[in-house]
Amino acid sequence: MKIRTGTIFDIKRFAVHDGPGIRTTIFFKGCPLNCWWCHNPESQNPDPETILHPNSGETELIGKSVNISELMDEIRKDIIFYDESGGGVTVSGGEPLMQPEFLVALLNQCTNENINTTIDTTGFSSLKTMKSMLGKLDLFLYDLKFIDDEKHQAYTGVSNKSILTNLKYLDSEKESVIIRIPIIPGVTDTKTNIKSLGTFISSSLQNINKVNILPYNRLGEGKYPRLNRPYRFANQLATPSDKELNRIKNELETYGLGVQIGG
Amino acid sequence: MKDRIKSLREQSMNAQPSLSIERAKLLTDYYQSGAADKASIPVARAQAFKYILENKKICINEGELIIGERGPEPTATPTYPEICTHTLQDFEILNSREKISFSVNDEVKELQSNVITPFWKGRSIRDKIFAAVDPEWIESYNAGLFTEFMEQRAPGHTVGGAHLWTNGMHDFQKEIAESIDNLDFFNDPEALNKKEELNAMAIAAEALILFAGRYSKKAMELAKKETNLKRKKELESIANICKHVPANAPRNMWEALQHYWFIHLGVITELNTWDSYNPGRLDQNLYSLYQQDISNKTHTEDSAKELLQAFWIKFNNQPAPPKVGVTAEESNTYTDFCLINIGGVKEDGSNAVNELSYILLDVIEEMRLLQPSSMVQISRKSPDRFLKRAFDIIKTGYGQPSVFNTDTIIQELTRQGKSIIDARAGGASGCVEAGAFGKEAYILTGYFNIPKVLEITLNNGIDPNTGKLLGLQTGNPVEFTTFEELVVAFTKQMNYFIDIKIKGNNIIERLWAQTLPAPFMSLLTKDCIQNGKDYNDGGARYNSSYIQGVGLGSITDSLAAIKYNIYDNKNVTMQELLNALKSNFKDSKSLREMLIYKTPKFGNDDDYPDDLMKDVFEIYWNAIDGRPNTKGGQHRVNLLPTTVHVYFGRMIGALPDGRMAHEPLSEGVSPVQGADIKGPTAVIKSVAKIDHERTGGTLLNQKFSPKFLDDEKSLEKVAHLVRSYFKMDGHHIQFNVVSVDTLRDAQKHPDKYRNLIVRVAGYSDLFINLGIELQNEIINRTEHMSA
Across A88-99, average pLDDT: 97
A contact test, residue of B606, B681, B785 with most A CBs within 10 A:
B681
Q: Do A14 and B786 touch (CB under 8 A)?
A: no
Percent of chain B predicted with pLDDT > 90: 91
Cβ neighbours around B150 below 10 Å, total:
26
On whether the CB atoms of residues B48 and B31 are closer than 8 A, the answer is yes
Q: Do B724 and A81 touch (CB under 8 A)?
A: yes
Rounded to the nearest angstrom, the minimum Cα separation between B235 and chain A is: 53
Compare CB distances from A81 to B713, B714, B720 and report the shortest one's residue: B720
pLDDT for B707 = 83
Q: Do A85 and B724 touch (CB under 8 A)?
A: yes
Ramachandran angles phi, psi of B523, nearest 5°:
-70, -20
Q: Do B679 and A14 touch (CB under 8 A)?
A: yes
B contact test, residue of A40, A53, A84 with most B CBs within 10 A:
A84
On whether the CB atoms of residues B616 and B551 are closer than 8 A, the answer is no
B162 falls in which pLDDT band (50, 70, 90)? very high
Q: Do B678 and A13 touch (CB under 8 A)?
A: yes
Rounded to the nearest angstrom, the minimum Cα separation between B708 and chain A is: 10
A contact test, residue of B589, B717, B723 with most A CBs within 10 A:
B717
Q: Do B727 and A84 touch (CB under 8 A)?
A: yes
User: Does pLDDT of B786 surpass 80?
Assistant: no
The predicted complex's ipTM stands at 0.91
Say yes or no: B514 contacts chain A, CB-CB below 8 A.
Answer: no
On whether the CB atoms of residues B85 and B120 are closer than 8 A, the answer is yes
Omega before residue B246 within 30° of 0, cis: yes
pLDDT for B714 = 86
Q: Do B681 and A14 touch (CB under 8 A)?
A: yes
pLDDT for A52 = 84
For the annotated catalytic residues of B, the residue numbers are 431, 433
On whether the CB atoms of residues B194 and B528 are closer than 8 A, the answer is no
Beta strands (DSSP E) in A80-183 are 88-92, 116-121, 139-143, 177-183
User: Does pLDDT of B485 surpass 90?
Assistant: yes
Going by C-alpha positions, the residue among B252, B237, B257, B324 that lies closest to residue B288 is B252
pLDDT for A2 = 54
Across B663-673, average pLDDT: 95
Rounded to the nearest angstrom, the minimum Cα separation between A180 and chain B is: 17
CA distances from A131 to A3, A9, A97, A175 (A): 18, 26, 11, 11
Chain A residues touching B786 at Cβ < 8 A? 16-17
Chain A residues touching B787 at Cβ < 8 A? 12, 14-18, 25
Percent of chain B predicted with pLDDT > 70: 100
User: Does pLDDT of B457 surpass 80?
Assistant: yes
Superfamily grouping for domain A5-261: Aldolase class I (3.20.20.70)
Digit-coded pLDDT (tens) for B716-774: 999 999 999 999 999 999 998 988 999 999 999 888 888 888 888 888 888 988 889 89
In whole angstroms, give the CA distance from residue B751 to residue B628: 50
Of A54-58, A148-152, B115-119, B643-647, minimum mean pLDDT range? A54-58
Choose the most confident range, by mean pLDDT, from A39-53, A55-69, B252-266: B252-266
User: Does pLDDT of B471 surpass 90?
Assistant: yes
Digit-coded pLDDT (tens) for A179-231: 999 999 999 999 999 999 999 999 999 999 999 999 998 888 888 988 989 99
Compare CB distances from A16 to B685, B717, B723 and report the shortest one's residue: B717
Chain B residues touching A17 at Cβ < 8 A? 786-787
Say yes or no: A81 contacts chain B, CB-CB below 8 A.
Answer: yes
Q: Do A14 and B713 touch (CB under 8 A)?
A: no
Nearest CA in chain A to B721: A81
Rounded to the nearest angstrom, the minimum Cα separation between B281 and chain A is: 28
In whole angstroms, give the CA distance from residue B490 to residue B467: 19
Compare CB distances from B721 to A22, A77, A262 and report the shortest one's residue: A22
Say yes or no: B298 contacts chain A, CB-CB below 8 A.
Answer: no
Residue B437: HSE in the Cβ half-sphere, 13 Å Cα cutoff? 30
B398 falls in which pLDDT band (50, 70, 90)? confident
Say yes or no: A15 contacts chain B, CB-CB below 8 A.
Answer: yes
Which ranges of B728-771 does DSSP label H, i.e. alpha helix? Answer: 740-748
Say yes or no: A21 contacts chain B, CB-CB below 8 A.
Answer: yes
Omega before residue B527 within 30° of 0, cis: yes
Rounded to the nearest angstrom, the minimum Cα separation between B607 and chain A is: 11
> What's the whole-model pTM score?
0.95
Chain A residues touching B723 at Cβ < 8 A? 84
Which residues, numbered 187 to 206 in chain A, qualify as contacts with chain B under a Cβ-Cβ cut-off of 8 Å? none
Chain A residues touching B721 at Cβ < 8 A? 14, 22, 81
CA distances from A35 to A28, A38, A159, A177 (A): 16, 5, 12, 22
In whole angstroms, give the CA distance from residue B219 to residue B588: 71
B541 falls in which pLDDT band (50, 70, 90)? very high
A1 falls in which pLDDT band (50, 70, 90)? very low
pLDDT for B525 = 98
Percent of chain A predicted with pLDDT > 90: 86
Say yes or no: A120 contacts chain B, CB-CB below 8 A.
Answer: no
Say yes or no: A77 contacts chain B, CB-CB below 8 A.
Answer: yes
Q: Do B724 and A80 touch (CB under 8 A)?
A: yes
Nearest CA in chain A to B713: A16
Across A131-142, average pLDDT: 97
In whole angstroms, give the CA distance from residue B675 to residue B666: 10
Say yes or no: B713 contacts chain A, CB-CB below 8 A.
Answer: yes
Which residues, numbered 639 to 678 in chain B, qualify as contacts with chain A under a Cβ-Cβ cut-off of 8 Å? 678
Chain A residues touching B685 at Cβ < 8 A? 77-78
Rounded to the nearest angstrom, the minimum Cα separation between B487 and chain A is: 29
Of A234-243, B537-546, B583-592, minimum mean pLDDT range? A234-243
Say yes or no: B784 contacts chain A, CB-CB below 8 A.
Answer: yes
pLDDT for A3 = 58
Which residues, numbered 715 to 744 in chain B, qualify as contacts with chain A under a Cβ-Cβ cut-off of 8 Å? 716-717, 720-721, 723-724, 727-728
CA distances from A60 to A49, A111, A226, B436, B592 (A): 8, 34, 10, 54, 19
In whole angstroms, give the CA distance from residue B288 to residue B300: 15
Rounded to the nearest angstrom, the minimum Cα separation between B560 and chain A is: 21
Rounded to the nearest angstrom, the minimum Cα separation between A22 and chain B is: 6
Nearest CA in chain B to A87: B717
pLDDT for B470 = 98
On whether the CB atoms of residues B377 and B737 are closer than 8 A, the answer is no
Going by C-alpha positions, the residue among A241, A257, A259 that lies closest to residue A249 is A259
Across B204-211, average pLDDT: 98
Say yes or no: B680 contacts chain A, CB-CB below 8 A.
Answer: yes
Say yes or no: A167 contacts chain B, CB-CB below 8 A.
Answer: no
CA distances from B638 to B401, B690, B695, B742 (A): 21, 11, 5, 32
Nearest CA in chain B to A263: B713
A contact test, residue of B720, B721, B733 with most A CBs within 10 A:
B720
In whole angstroms, give the CA distance from residue B334 to residue B332: 7
Phi-psi domain of B784 (left: phi exceeds 0; alpha: psi -120 through 50; beta: other): beta
Compare CB distances from B723 to A25, A84, A87 and report the shortest one's residue: A84
Strands B468-469 and B462-463, how do they pair? antiparallel
Compare CB distances from B682 to A13, A80, A85 and report the shortest one's residue: A13
Residues with Cβ within 8 Å of B303's Cβ and at least 6 positions away in sequence, in order, are none
Going by C-alpha positions, the residue among B687, B655, B787 that lies closest to residue A15 is B787
Residues with Cβ within 8 Å of B107's Cβ and at least 6 positions away in sequence, in order, are B21
Nearest 5°: CA angle at A212, between A209 and A213?
130
On whether the CB atoms of residues B684 and B724 are closer than 8 A, the answer is yes
